[in-house]
Structure 1
Amino acid sequence: MPSDDTNNPPFEIRVADRVTRLPPYLFGRINKMIYDKRVGGDDVIELGMGNPSDPPEKEVIEKLVEAARDERNHRYSKNIGIANLRREVASKYFKRFGVRLDPDDEVITCLGSKEGFSHMCLAMMGPGDTALVPTPYFPVHVYAVALASGNVIQLPVTDSDKFLAAIAHTCETLYPRPKLLLLCYPHNPSSVTVEQPFFDEVVKLAKKYNLMVISDFAYADVAYDGYKPPSFLASPGAIDVGVEFTTMSKGYNMAGWRVGFCAGNREMINALATIKGYYDYGMFQAIQIAAIVALRDTQAAVEKQSLIYQGRRDALCDGLVRLGWADARPKAGMFVWQPIPEPWRSRMSTMDFAMLLLDKGNVAVSPGSGFGPAGEGYLRMSLVENEERLRQAVRQIKACLKEAEAEYSGKQPETAAAT
């Protein structure tokens, strides 16, 4: 029962500084408008979130059902992952990249790579520690460091040679030196890609400046036109300095299953396992058993899924090029990092342009400014819709901008007269 003592001040909830330091969620306005539009009956084409819409392979789902019926699989599981799943991860690394991993000490499962990365930051970072992060950035790459009380220095990712030079320059001039380097290739959101020699140079820099490395390899399984994304761990000496996160969300269409992995340096793996020991009891064992089947038996389907994404990429990019937009076709990943065309880029902010497409065109996109200041002037457009829906999105964008241009032009004389 509430107290009626008027002499006591109101009770105050005091959340931690790590929470109050987080900025407002930039996509909140867009998400609210999407919700309101759909409640109102509008068909919004969602190109904002990279949420895979295709299902996993049938045999993977069947294995999940079978394993879920086994009463032994409903107990707590090991938070590092069952041994056979870790062996399959090590096997995939060897078959695809020629990387030998000890599944007992150099592989750990995560509840999705995002959880794993966040907990690795808790294991590696503390007050006063600094991480080097590519920009534009995927938000968790910055804010997981902040939640671990670390500092972030953002380095432009667009030019790989300049990125490497910036790492060296920052390590030479900053004291104390940065402790952690984050890599993300194929990059989210910009879709920048690299070849193996880039990682060779990263290893040299890491050893020279005593930098630990975390490679976010979330888009390892989604690539186009013959491009094969390289693994950081395939560079000589990489396992001495860092780890790599992979996931089954994209190529295997298992986003909601939350199956991720961390592989590489055993000391970093052990530190992550220590943190996880205090936070979770591991992944549902039936999901782990189904993931083994996916890794072992569905590689052909993963390659087919890349071709599906490639067809979607071409449907979207071909349509935007016909509208006069730049051809921003990526070599990998499930996003198009699209420059906003003129005159719109000069007329309004990236957020306002994204809101215009949603309000007038019923097409939701992610404004580049949601990925840091370096993203201003760009849109991130996901490839989760089918080809026909993507072509429809282009038609709606065209109609939306035609209407907006007419309204804008109609207001100009009135504005001029007013001034």
Structure 2
Amino acid sequence: MIYFNQSTLLNTLPKQFFAALTKKAAQYINAGHDVINLGQGNPDQPTPQHIVDSLKEAADQPAFHRYPPFQGQLFLKEAAAQFYKREYDVDLDPETEIAILFGGKAGLVELPMCLMDAGDYMLVPDPGYPDYWSGAAMAGALMDYMPLTVENHFLPDYDAIEKERLDRAKLMLLNYPNNPTGAQANSAFFEQTVELAKKHNICIVHDFAYGGVGFDGHKPPSFLQAEGAKEIGVEVYTLSKTYNMAGWRVGFVAGNKSVISAINLLQDHLYVSLFSAVQQAAAVALTGPQDCVQELSAMYERRRNVFIDACKKIGWNVTAPAGSFFAWLPVPAPYTSVEFSDMLLEKAHVVAAPGIGFGTYGEGYVRVGLLTDEHRLVEAVERIGRLGLFIDKNIKK
């Protein structure tokens, strides 16, 4: 057999962090251990039944067996516009300000390719979602990292970014509620972002994947709610988390018309849009009953509370996330995030994602996904507690 070398592009792509994590966990599972996997972001609940039923009905329509329109069904774009008007009071033109995506991840990787040339700079959060790096690599872009620190509530400190760095940046990626930290941004931060972007001619891409998961009575704001946001950026929304449709691979990007036109052009060369039955089900999700969304967010909040309480009871000094379904937990001295994660897997059979996998400023933390039932979350913490790494202060929330 002839071995064909991979392209230079493939050899420059970052290693898939979560694939390695999954492989490591599988070794313990295959060895017969009861592993509690809190290391990934794969929702554990089923898609609401009314959405599944709509897919079944739509799949029976012969018209949907044909190629869909290249840039997606207008009815799904109209549903997305209705969703944004209802949830955020944001007006969007379905035909020019919304593009259909094969899940939010596809859009986040494609947008740098649409807007940047080799050698251009993009501002990315550190820590941040590793696939942001994939988009930069595919575009040949250079990344300029914005540290997210606990001292600044895991928001980028714009005052700390030199003018020269802002002037050379063509794109900035943001993500709130935040993966991996669980931090939340407010309207004032987004207004500041718009002002900064206008001043330095930066396109803002806001990853709103966890927009449907807010806690303590606070609804996560949309970036597009900030005055002037559509002039300088877009927001990427996925149905994966809000409606438990991770495996359906459907999302959309909304906002600036020139950016929407660019991503539509790229996708014209890659796809012939999504199966129309999936688009129909997605439209039903966005415009139908929303009780399932409130129930899901409430479930994650209960899990968060149970998990954080359990951590405090073993003496782990942790902070409850304000949004998303992740908890960002400090690593005890003297361990690195990888050493601590490896020990949790080896000795407690609990999977947590080491913070260094999300960037340099992720060191010192592990990310835990609240994606199993409350009893298993408590059991995971109890297993960790038995390792004797924390002083049991009997702290109760």
Q: What TM-score results when the alignment is normalised by the length of structure 2?
A: 0.93
> What's the secondary structure of 1:99's corresponding residue?
coil
Aligned residues: 387
CA distance in 1, matches of 2:290, 2:100: 19
Amino acid at match of 2:286: L
Aligned to 1:5: none
Q: Give how far 1:153 is off.
A: 0.3
Structure 1 pair 210–176 and aligned structure 2 pair: CA distance change class (3 A):
closer
Specify which of 160, 164, 167 is matched with residue 158 of structure 2. 164
> What's the secondary structure of 2:157's corresponding residue?
helix
Aligned to 1:184: 175
RMSD after superposition: 1.8
Q: Give how far 1:174 is off.
A: 3.6
Aligned to 2:211: 220
Amino acid at match of 2:6: V
Match status 1:293 vs 2:284 = yes
Q: Give how far 1:191 is off.
A: 1.6
Match status 1:302 vs 2:301 = no
Match status 1:102 vs 2:107 = no
**What aligned pairs does 1:32-47 form with structure 2 within 5 A after superposition?**
32-47=23-38
Amino acid at match of 1:153: D
Q: Give how far 1:21 is off.
A: 2.3
Gaps of 5+ in 1: 3-10, 406-419
- Whether the 8 Å contact between 2:111 and 2:135 is mirrored in structure 1 is no
Q: Give how far 1:29 is off.
A: 5.0
- Please list every run of at least 4 consecutive aligned residues from structure 1 whose deviation after the TM superposition is greater than 6 angstroms: none
Match status 1:349 vs 2:341 = no
Aligned to 2:317: 326
> What's the secondary structure of 1:249's corresponding residue?
helix
Amino acid at match of 1:166: A
Specify which of 219, 223, 232 is matched with residue 232 of structure 1. 223
CA distance in 2, matches of 1:259, 1:200: 28
CA distance in 2, matches of 1:283, 1:394: 41
User: Which one has a bigger Cα radius of gyration?
Assistant: 1
**What aligned pairs does 1:3-402 form with structure 2 within 5 A after superposition?**
13-27=4-18, 29-158=20-149, 159=152, 163-167=157-161, 169=162, 172-174=163-165, 177-341=168-332, 345-346=333-334, 348-399=335-386, 401-402=387-388
- Could you report, residue by residue, the CA deviation over 1:54-96 in whole angstroms, capped at 9, with x for unpaired residues? 0111111111111112222121112422111111111111112
- Whether the 8 Å contact between 1:249 and 1:258 is mirrored in structure 2 is yes
CA distance in 2, matches of 1:379, 1:265: 35
- Could you report, residue by residue, the CA deviation over 1:253-273 in whole angstroms, capped at 9, with x for unpaired residues? 100001111000011000000
- Could you report, residue by residue, the CA deviation over 1:317-353 in whole angstroms, capped at 9, with x for unpaired residues? 1111111112320110010001113xxx21x221111
- Whether the 8 Å contact between 1:203 and 1:241 is mirrored in structure 2 is yes
CA distance in 1, matches of 2:76, 2:232: 24
- Could you report, residue by residue, the CA deviation over 1:279-327 in whole angstroms, capped at 9, with x for unpaired residues? 0111111111111111112311101100000011111111111111123
Amino acid at match of 1:391: V
- Could you report, residue by residue, the CA deviation over 1:21-73 in whole angstroms, capped at 9, with x for unpaired residues? 23444455542232122222222111000100101111111111111122221
> What's the secondary structure of 2:146's corresponding residue?
strand
Aligned to 2:394: none
Amino acid at match of 1:165: D
Gaps of 5+ in 2: 391-397
Amino acid at match of 2:38: L
Q: What TM-score results when the alignment is normalised by the length of structure 1?
A: 0.89
- Whether the 8 Å contact between 1:179 and 1:211 is mirrored in structure 2 is yes
> What's the secondary structure of 2:180's corresponding residue?
coil
CA distance in 2, matches of 1:174, 1:195: 24
